[in-house]
Structure 1
Amino acid sequence: MYLFSETTMKYVVMSALVAFLAAPVTAQEIVFGAGYTKYGNISASDAPVIELEYHHKPFHDTRHWDVSWGGVVSGTADEDYFLGVGLVGTYDFDSPWFAEVSVMPGLYSEGSILTDLGDALEFRSLLGVGYAFRNGSAVSLAIVHKSNASLGDVNPGVNTILLRYHKRF
């Protein structure tokens, strides 16, 4: 049994995508990621994934750490969708290199029973390292984990590796 119909979830994902793309004038950063998933359920087929993130202008800024609000929308080739919002932390190494962490709770809709993560509420955590270019863009490699933190009856989780492109404004 699915929380949302396929049509409803596609509408939600597309609406979020349009909202993210319409926001670059006030955005701190837009991030596009592409990668591959590895499900905790061994019967599930692993699938390609794409993600689009929006990182707002930092509300906390120190010499090395920036903290901001962010949002993410992601989808797999198997029609699994996630829409989340939360905190993004970026550590600047006083060089072109940076590290990023984020935690974003959100809604998850599985494309099949095999990719069911146990609950509609899932928590997405990210750890990445990247290289910033002088023109305001950057690339990063990130590992993402989604889990329901044992709120559901089952909690197989899913891990993703992403290659990401950042555009700062």
Structure 2
Amino acid sequence: MKHIPLCAAMIAAPLAAPAQEVILGAGFTDFSADEAQDTAVISLDYHHRPFLSNGRFDLGLGGALEIDAEADAFAGLGLVARYGFAERWFVNASVMPGAYFSARLSNDLGSTFQIRSLLGIGYELSDSSSLSLAISHKSNASTGDKNPGVNALTLRWHKKL
């Protein structure tokens, strides 16, 4: 009987909510079109506090801004997911519809509308900082006149807020 209040308090205590996160990335693009100019890219992502957390899995909303050395730019909003495994390792993924603006005709992706999909693997350096390596792909899902797409490989630094 003495343990009932302690157990009730443990059950009623709120679990620590996952934090918001800002992610800075740098890497390289690989356009599918032969005439396109492959180049360096930088990115800034924001992941809002997840609306669904179930053990090691989190699902939430986020946004992304990317610009490459040719001044091509992308801005998108969508779903972000994270799954923790092992002790400090995690996988993250996102799907973000958005707008793409090419600065040079050869880097045109067929339409302004693009969807960025991303898959990464990362390691938590501390409670508030992580590193990940991600591959991403932007495509208009054949909604444009052409759909060459672009891939990117980025090294990303995550900072929890």
Q: TM-score range by the shorter chain?
A: 0.7 to 0.9
Residue 158 (str. 1) matches residue 155 (str. 2):
no
**Aligned residue for 1:46?**
38
The equivalent position to 2:26 in structure 1, one of 34, 46, 50, is: 34
| Contact 1:64–1:94 (CA under 8 A) maintained in structure 2 | no
Tell me the distance in 2 between the aligned counterparts of 1:135 and 1:64. 15
- Normalised TM-score (structure 2): 0.87
Tell me the distance in 2 between the aligned counterparts of 1:40 and 1:134. 37
- Give the secondary structure class of the aligned counterpart of 2:71: coil
| Contact 1:128–1:141 (CA under 8 A) maintained in structure 2 | yes
State the AA in 2 paired with 1:42: D
- Normalised TM-score (structure 1): 0.83
| Structure (1 or 2) with the larger CA radius of gyration | 2
Residue 85 (str. 1) matches residue 82 (str. 2):
no
Aligned residue runs from structure 1 range 36-75, under 5 A: 36-75=28-67
| Contact 1:34–1:49 (CA under 8 A) maintained in structure 2 | yes
The equivalent position to 1:101 in structure 2, one of 87, 90, 93, is: 93
**Aligned residue for 1:5?**
none
Unaligned runs of 5+ in 1: 1-26
Aligned identity (percent) is 48
- Give the secondary structure class of the aligned counterpart of 1:114: helix
Tell me the distance in 2 between the aligned counterparts of 1:67 and 1:94. 19
